[in-house]
C-alpha cells in the first residue's frame, strides 16, 4: 500500500504528512553503490587505474625507485601489507560503503553501509593516469614526474572524473577517518584509502586532501 493510501485508510492527514516527509527524506538519502555509477553519475567502474596512451611509453620507461618519495617510505612493509589487494583490485559489487548526498555544500559523499574496523582497505583510488587534468576536483597526485624528449617535466595525476570507483566520492576532512597510502607496486604508484579508526554504520568516510587542494577552493572545516 502506498504512503498516501495508507494514511487515507487511517484517515489521518497529519500522519500522511509525516509519512510523506519521511519518504522524501529517505529519497534524499538514497544510497548509490558502485554498480549504480554508470547510470546515475555517468562514471565507468575501474577496478584498477589505466594509463593515458600519450604518457604510457614514458611511464613504462620510468623507474619509480628514482622518485624522491620512494626512498622516504618503508616500501617492503607497504607491499607486504597491501600487495594482495593491489594484485586483485576492488570489485564492483562491494557493498561495505555507499554514496549518498552529504550536504548541499559538499555534494555527495561516501558512507559506511556496515561497521568498518580500523585498518580496512576501503578502495584503491582508480582513474586515468594522465598529464591532462583541466579540472582537478577528481584528481589525485601521481608521484612520478616524467621527462619528455626536451627534458621538460610532465606532471601526472590519477583522474577519476569519468572512470573510477567509490574513492572519487570521498570528501575532505581536517580530522579524517581514512588515510591515503601510496604504495609503489610493480613500477607503478597505487593509492589506497584505508580506515584509520573504526567507522560506524552510516558514518561518513573522509580523507585529508592536502592544503594545496584548498588554495583555490572553499572548504568546510569539518
Ligand X SMILES: C[S@@+](CC[C@H](N)C(=O)[O-])C[C@H]1O[C@@H](n2cnc3c(N)ncnc32)[C@H](O)[C@@H]1O
CB of 170 to ligand X, least distance (A): 6
* Binding of residue 138 to ligand X (CB under 6 A): yes
**In the set 108, 143, 185, 208, which binds ligand X (CB under 6 A)?**
108
CB of 196 to ligand X, least distance (A): 17
> Cα 6 to the chain's mean position, in Å?
40
| Binding segment toward ligand X, per CB under 6 A, in 22-30, 150-158, 163-171, 187-195 | 163-171
> Residue 70 or 213: which CB sits closer to ligand X?
213
Phi, psi of 50 (to 5 degrees): -120, 165
- Burial label, 134 (beta-carbon count in 10 A; 0-12, 13-18, 19+): exposed
**In the set 38, 107, 117, 210, which binds ligand X (CB under 6 A)?**
107
Does residue 43 sit in helix, strand or coil? coil
CA proximity to 34, closest of 76, 90, 85:
90
**In the set 137, 148, 202, 203, which binds ligand X (CB under 6 A)?**
137
List CB contacts of 124: < 8 A, sequence separation 6 or more. Answer: 48, 49, 85, 86, 89, 90, 165, 167, 190, 191, 192, 193
Judge whether 151 and 52 are in contact, CB under 8 Å: no
CB of 127 to ligand X, least distance (A): 10
DSSP state of 29: T
Judge whether 64 and 58 are in contact, CB under 8 Å: no
CB of 60 to ligand X, least distance (A): 28
Residues contacting ligand X: total by CB under 6 A: 15
* Binding of residue 37 to ligand X (CB under 6 A): no
d(CA 163, CA 166): 10
* Binding of residue 24 to ligand X (CB under 6 A): no
* Binding of residue 169 to ligand X (CB under 6 A): yes
| Binding segment toward ligand X, per CB under 6 A, in 3-11, 59-67, 69-77, 102-110 | 102-110
* Binding of residue 217 to ligand X (CB under 6 A): yes
> Residue 40 or 115: which CB sits closer to ligand X?
40
d(CA 27, CA 142): 37
* Binding of residue 177 to ligand X (CB under 6 A): no
Residue with cell 500522511: 16
* Binding of residue 210 to ligand X (CB under 6 A): no
Binding site for ligand X (CB under 6 A): 105-109, 137-138, 168-169, 171-172, 217, 219-220, 222
Amino acid at each position: 500500500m502506498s504512503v498516501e493510501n495508507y494514511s487515507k485508510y487511517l484517515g489521518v492527514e497529519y500522519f500522511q504528512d509525516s509519512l510523506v516527509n519521511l519518504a522524501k527524506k529517505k529519497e534524499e538519502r538514497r544510497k548509490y553503490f558502485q554498480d549504480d555509477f554508470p547510470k546515475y553519475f555517468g562514471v565507468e567502474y575501474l577496478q584498477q587505474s589505466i594509463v593515458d596512451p600519450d604518457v604510457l611509453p614514458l611511464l613504462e620507461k620510468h623507474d619509480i625507485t628514482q622518485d624522491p618519495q620512494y626512498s622516504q617510505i618503508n616500501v617492503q612493509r607497504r607491499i607486504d601489507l597491501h600487495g594482495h589487494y593491489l594484485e586483485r583490485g576492488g570489485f564492483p559489487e562491494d557493498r561495505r560503503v555507499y554514496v549518498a548526498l552529504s550536504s548541499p555544500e559538499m555534494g555527495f559523499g561516501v558512507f559506511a553501509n556496515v561497521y568498518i574496523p580500523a585498518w580496512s582497505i576501503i578502495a584503491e583510488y582508480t582513474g586515468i593516469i594522465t598529464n591532462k587534468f583541466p579540472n582537478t576536483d577528481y584528481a589525485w597526485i601521481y608521484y612520478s614526474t616524467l621527462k619528455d624528449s626536451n627534458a621538460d617535466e610532465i606532471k601526472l595525476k590519477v583522474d577519476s572524473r569519468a572512470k573510477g570507483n567509490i574513492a572519487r566520492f570521498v570528501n575532505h576532512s581536517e580530522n579524517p577517518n581514512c588515510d591515503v597510502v601510496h604504495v609503489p607496486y610493480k613500477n607503478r604508484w597505487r593509492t589506497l584509502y584505508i580506515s584509520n579508526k573504526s567507522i560506524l554504520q552510516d558514518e561518513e568516510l573522509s580523507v585529508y586532501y592536502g592544503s594545496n587542494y584548498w588554495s583555490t577552493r572553499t572548504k568546510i572545516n569539518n
